[in-house]
Amino acid sequence: MDTIRFSLMPRLTKPVNLPPADAAKLQAIVKKGTHKSRKIARARALLAMSSGKGAAAVQAEGGISTTQYYRLKRRYLAGGLAQALEERPRSGQPPKVTPALEARITSLACSELPTGAARWTLSLLNETLVCLDYGPAVSKETIRQVLKKATSSPG
């Protein structure tokens, strides 16, 4: 009868050894504090990894989860500092409101009122937008946000 042997020793992981230039960049990101909070958390975690702290200590210090810890470590070891700090582009549905549609909504709100209307309402803007085939029907909230962004008020 053959016996199967399992190793009771944990698998050794590669340590993160930051070059002085990378460590200086990470220190600047953490110290300055003007970057996105997720980028700052990643920088803190990488600095903690390089100081030889364990996974639990790095997670607590960096404010990251277990999955984020291992993903960050793998991305740094595979691609370096830039790949570890920056977020990858997200897939998904493209936005319905393009800059061209925003311009059309704004110009429509600034144009003359249709006959029988006392003022532009969000619903009237949406109906007119679809009738003139300027773009797809969007919600009233979307039109409100576009007009707010353009610092314009309907009416």
pTM reported for the whole predicted model? 0.56
More confident position, 10 or 110 = 110
Dihedrals φ, ψ of 113, to 5°? -75, 150
d(CA 145, CA 9): 58
pLDDT per position as a tens digit, 132-143: 888 788 899 999
Q: Helices (DSSP H) in the chain: which residue ranges? A: 20-32, 37-50, 55-62, 66-79, 81-85, 99-110, 122-131, 140-149
Whether the per-residue pLDDT at 8 is higher than 80: the answer is no
The mean pLDDT of 39-65, rounded to a whole number, is: 91
Phi-psi region of 33 (alpha: psi -120 to 50; beta: other; left: phi over 0): left
The mean pLDDT of 15-44, rounded to a whole number, is: 91
pLDDT per position as a tens digit, 78-114: 999 999 999 887 778 887 888 999 999 999 999 999 8
